């Protein structure tokens, strides 16, 4: 069938060095055309760092079906655009009753996509089997329930192979506790990944985890940790 160039909406481009670039360029164009956002001024970032979305506004968005549909399409983009994970996770928490300021935040991410249509993941052909993990969390940033959002990204050598951003299930009493819960989630992901690589007969050294303000170490995965 020839070289791979498209797969489930993902465009695959091979570089001269044999690396692969994965992107959703056409998929993003379709989203922008559907929302009439192609002609708007693009933004350099998907979300303002101090944005605090909440459920207390009285201005209900007039088309909740459109909101749910667009946020759903953005979730599929996370395959090649992991930098959107935190923003999309926040938007998805208000799909039951979206309000006007929620939609305005979604429009900002669409303007960011208009500026970065060709961005994606670069997978290197030659890479090591060393696992490196970055983890972080915000503490009580949700204005409605004061729960925290934690996230991580996992590299196998120089290739990003896993990433996630999600709200924690309980309220943490300190920044140390929220980081501890975040790293516990990462440890579970590492254990699963090491088991998968072992089945594929790929030996990996102890993973290295970088986390912000973390004082506790979970030794079950034998990681090297930096706070």
Which domains does the chain possess?
6-120 (no CATH), 127-226 (3.30.420.10)
Where do runs of H (alpha helix) occur along the chain? 25-34, 64-77, 85-92, 100-115, 175-199
Residue 74 region by backbone torsions, left for phi larger than 0, else alpha for psi between -120 and 50, else beta? alpha
- 112 vs 134: CA distance, rounded Å: 24
pLDDT given at position 215: 35
Q: CB-based contacts of 190: which residues, under 8 Å, 6+ apart?
A: 131, 133, 154, 207, 209, 221, 223
Q: Residue 83 carries which DSSP code?
A: G
The pTM of the full predicted model, rounded to 2 decimals, is: 0.78
Does residue 143 sit in helix, strand or coil?
coil
pLDDT along the chain (227 residues), means of 10: 81 86 91 88 83 76 92 91 89 88 92 91 83 84 78 88 84 84 88 90 82 41 43
């Amino acid at each position: 069938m020839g070289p791979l160039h498209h797969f489930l909406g993902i465009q695959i481009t091979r570089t001269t060095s044999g690396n692969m670039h994965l992107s959703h360029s056409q998929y993003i164009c379709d989203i922008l055309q559907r929302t009439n956002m192609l002609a708007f001024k693009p933004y350099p970032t998907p979300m303002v760092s101090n944005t605090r979305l909440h459920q207390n506004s009285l201005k209900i968005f007039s088309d909740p079906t459109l909101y749910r549909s667009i946020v759903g399409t953005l979730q599929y983009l996370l395959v090649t655009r992991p930098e959107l994970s935190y923003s999309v996770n926040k938007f998805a928490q208000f799909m039951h009753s979206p309000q006007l300021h929620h939609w305005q935040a979604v429009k900002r991410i669409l303007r960011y996509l208009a500026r970065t249509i060709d961005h994606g993941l670069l997978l290197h052909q030659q890479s090591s089997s060393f696992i490196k993990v970055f983890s972080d969390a915000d503490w009580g940033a949700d204005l409605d329930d004061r729960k925290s959002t934690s996230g991580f990204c996992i590299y196998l050598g120089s290739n990003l192979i896993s990433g996630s951003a999600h709200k924690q299930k309980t309220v943490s009493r300190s920044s140390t506790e929220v980081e501890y819960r975040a790293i516990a989630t990462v440890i579970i992901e590492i254990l699963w990944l090491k088991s998968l690589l072992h089945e594929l007969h790929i030996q990996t050294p102890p993973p290295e985890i970088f986390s912000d303000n973390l004082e506790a170490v979970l030794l079950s995965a034998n990681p090297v940790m930096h706070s």
